[in-house]
Structure 1
Amino acid sequence: MRQFIVLLALFYVCEGVTFGQLCNGNPDNEMRTSDIWGYGHYGARREDGTHTGVDIVCEDGSVVYAPFDVTLVRGLIIYLNKPERDPVNNGLMMRGEGLCVKLFYIEPDKTTGTVLKGERIGKMMRMQSVWPGMTSHVHVQLCDKSDPTSYF
């Protein structure tokens, strides 16, 4: 019964959450559609399975903002043993509004502490240096790998 109440409380907290502007130059959080590398929606096919996040368009070098009031948990290294992806190998894990969120392809300004919605948390890494022709984007993934689309 206690687990049910905790789950219900998490659902209630998350129900009304909407991400604020994630990237400078994209006030509506436009999602990556298709390009020569594929699609950016949740569940899109990938070589190694399916896409477990959504891709929000962001120009290389653009400022990235906190999508809501968050506690920064830690920095992320996305790819292990793939030095060719070093230019885009960073990310950030954060918690807030009952959600745990990972953002990929950003160089965080810091990796711990609290940040208010709309404050700068880092900058977009140079995606074009690794995947020329792909629409540059921040990959947004919930820690439990469920679909984050409804939060945009």
Structure 2
Amino acid sequence: MMRMLFRICFIAALLVCCVLLSPALEHEKRRGEEFQSSDENADSNIKVKRNYTTTNDRRPKAGSPRKTGSERVSMGPRSDVSCAKLGGICQPHRYICQGRYLKDKCSGAKTRQCCMPVGVWSILCAGHHNNRVRSCDAHGCGAFNSRRGDDLHKAVDLVCDDYGIVNTPFSGSLVGPVSRKDSAGHQYDGVKLLNDVHCVKIFNIRPFHYMGPVAQGEALGYLLPLQERFSGITSHLELQMCDSSDPSPFI
């Protein structure tokens, strides 16, 4: 009888323990599931952040503009050599230049321009103190871009004396005769002179020779008279750059 009562009490105690432990076990199970869920969410967030970072790394960074093949970068000269070869000096254009300023010959900012001194070339016409540009007369004006009928004069006329000696403006080489005709059919003869920097055509002269090296100031030839064809015209030679630019800054 006693053994039976002991077994019943033991079984009852076990049942009570099971009833009491079940909520605790259920609570621990839920905590474990919540912890596992939070770990999975954290891993997912890390993956999302990594993917976002990788995607952003492929995008161009701010402040670094993308370059395309169609884009062209406008750059000026990288040095002042172009100006120096012409006999000039690069300086801010706000400074006084005794001669003339030439653009796009200097490195740096656009405000730096090439100052060309007066009379870079020698005086072409012997017996004259300077290269004087022909003023206007009955047959036209001698300045660069002066009106010639329907055209512009892409040269400069320098006053000279008939049959007067014409000197070489800069050292270089003579490369043959040149000629041109005006709208009225009049022909003008001359010679071409060039070096590494300059190229000019000098008309209305008869050179002593058409080929070979010449030095600055050397006698180049003599002026052909124009009075026989154009009565009252100012005797002059015509100085034309090979690229039809203005030779005024050099004379």
TM over 0.5: yes
Secondary structure class of the residue paired with 1:150: helix
Change (3 A) 1:80 1:136: closer
CA contact (8 A) 1:69 1:97 kept: no
Secondary structure class of the residue paired with 1:145: coil
Question: Structure 1-normalised TM-score?
Answer: 0.85
Quick one: percent identity of the two aligned structures? 32
Greater RCO (Cα-Cα under 8 Å, separation 6 or more): 1
Secondary structure class of the residue paired with 1:52: coil
Segments of structure 2 that go 5 or more residues without pairing to the other structure are 1-75, 89-115
1:76 corresponds to: 178
1:28 corresponds to: 130
Segments of structure 1 that go 5 or more residues without pairing to the other structure are none
| AA partner of residue 90 (structure 1) | D
Change (3 A) 1:20 1:146: same
Aligned residue pairs total 147
| AA partner of residue 133 (structure 1) | G
Residue 213 of structure 2, aligned match among 110, 114, 121: 114
Secondary structure class of the residue paired with 1:24: coil
| AA partner of residue 118 (structure 1) | G
| AA partner of residue 202 (structure 2) | L
1:138 equivalent to 2:237? Answer yes
Larger radius of gyration: 2
CA contact (8 A) 1:68 1:97 kept: no
Question: Structure 2-normalised TM-score?
Answer: 0.53
CA contact (8 A) 1:14 1:97 kept: no
> Matched residues in 2 for 1:12 and 1:41: separation?
26
Query: Higher helix share goes to which structure?
Result: 2
2:246 corresponds to: 147
How far the C-alpha of 1:11 sits from its partner, in A, is 4.5
CA contact (8 A) 1:21 1:28 kept: yes
Task: Kindly provide the CA deviation profile for residues 5-60 of structure 1, in whole angstroms up to 9, marking residues without a partner as x.
Answer: 7xx75444125371101011223111101111121100100124100011110111
Comparing 120-129 with 25-34, greater Cα deviation is found at: 25-34
Query: Higher strand share goes to which structure?
Result: 1
Residue 226 of structure 2, aligned match among 119, 127, 132: 127
CA contact (8 A) 1:61 1:123 kept: yes
1:85 equivalent to 2:186? Answer yes
Secondary structure class of the residue paired with 1:43: coil
